[in-house]
Amino acid sequence: MTATIIDGKKVAAEVRSRLATNVASFTQRTGRTPGLATILVGEDPASEVYVANKRKAATAAGIADFHQHLPATATAEDIAAVIDALAQNDDVSGILLQLPLPSGLDSSRLIDRIPASKDVDGLTTMSAGLLARGEPGLRPCTPTGIITLLDSANVPIAGALAVVIGRSQLVGAPVAQLLLHRNATVVIAHSRTAELASLTKQADIVVAAAGIPALVTAEHVKPGAAIIDVGIHRTDAGLVGDVLFDEVVAVAGWITPVPGGVGPMTIATLLENTLRAAEAISAASDL
Ligand code: NAP
């Protein structure tokens, strides 16, 4: 058996193309343009690339760019003042504080300054609470992108046994909640989990988000299962994930590659969240 490869690049391109159309019709209907404010603090080269890619994708989708670049010497008060100004700005629909921040800054406190209505990364305590309670809100981008990928391949979620490897606030915990809301039976594994393989071997869906290269091998996988690889690791041989692709592809029913699987979905979902935020803000101001 060879798994169906879930092509994240293709799905992300479809999402972005549909989104550009939806942004255009929103702008035509309301006379407003969705706006995304990315905040970069310092000169971390990887963060600069991530932010540049997000801005480029947003501009291509017709979303206005409100980028703010602060020096590495910026204080928590400086960053808070920028967030507060963007929160007050009616032209800004979404605010994203690029992580990691330079050392010494409390990222959780600063993220929590972003109003939930503009929290397009879905990482504030308020957004996490809304997700936990199953109430409407903006959801974290990578986990939402994972659900979009599963749906794109028609992987059954309701009633499936899903094992999520990892419990971070960025990926593991929210993707587990999203799967639960879609009526999967969810098990969350972490670094203290005993007998990981015996759990994953029973799963219909495995989301591997441990940050350990080749953690998931053929021995971990039930034949026909859907394997979503969130891991990203730079090696001499190129990018690899948390899943030993060459082995697992022969056992699984579906699998996401690295690169070209989950990665492209993160930005596509950020753009979707920005339009969703613009729509909600516009609807609220029309009341
Ligand atoms: P993280 O904050 O380091 O969390 C890793 C999680 O994995 C923790 O909950 C940890 O458990 C668990 N874990 C560690 N070793 C394990 C083991 N042997 N067995 C089972 N669980 C184990 O990482 P993250 O931010 O969630 O990211 C995970 C991976 O996804 C990284 O490779 C990251 O680069 C990648 N990522 C990709 C995207 C994308 O767009 N494709 C986005 C975000 C992240 P404890 O809680 O017990 O420590």
For ligand 1, whether the C-beta of 171 sits within 6 Å is: yes
Residue 246: helix, strand or coil by DSSP? helix
pLDDT digits (tens, 9 = 90+) for 33-87: 999 999 999 999 999 999 999 999 999 999 999 999 999 999 999 999 999 999 9
Residue 173 banded pLDDT, cuts 50, 70, 90: very high
Known catalytic residue at 68: no
How far are the Cα atoms of 93, 98, 215, 243 from residue 107, in angstroms, in the given order?
21, 10, 29, 30
Ligand 1 pocket: which of 96, 121, 170 to mutate (most atoms within 8 A of CB): 170
| DSSP element (H, E) containing 22 | helix 8-30
pTM over 0.95: yes
Residue 286 banded pLDDT, cuts 50, 70, 90: confident
Residues of 239-262 as b/e, b for ≥16 C-beta within 10 angstroms? ebbbbbbebbbebbbbbbbbebbb
pLDDT score recorded for residue 64: 98
Please state, in angstroms and rounded to a whole number, the distance separating the CA atoms of residues 122 and 112: 10
Provide the β-strand partners of residue 233: 240
pLDDT score recorded for residue 246: 97
Known catalytic residue at 222: no
State mean pLDDT over 227-239. 95
**Interval between CA 190 and ligand 1 midpoint (Å):** 9
Of 161, 182, 142, nearest to 224 by C-alpha is 161
For ligand 1, whether the C-beta of 142 sits within 6 Å is: yes
State mean pLDDT over 221-237. 97
pLDDT digits (tens, 9 = 90+) for 129-168: 999 999 999 999 999 999 999 999 999 999 999 999 999 9
Give the distance, in angstroms, between the CA of residue 147 and the centroid of all CA atoms in the same chain. Answer: 10
HSE-up (13 A, CA, CB side) for residue 1? 14
Phi then psi dihedrals of residue 27, to 5 deg? -65, -40
pLDDT score recorded for residue 174: 98
**Interval between CA 172 and ligand 1 midpoint (Å):** 7
Residues of 7-44 as b/e, b for ≥16 C-beta within 10 angstroms? bbeebbeebbeebeebbeebbeeeebebbbbbbbbbeb
For ligand 1, whether the C-beta of 166 sits within 6 Å is: yes
Ligand 1 pocket: which of 6, 141, 167, 198 to mutate (most atoms within 8 A of CB): 167
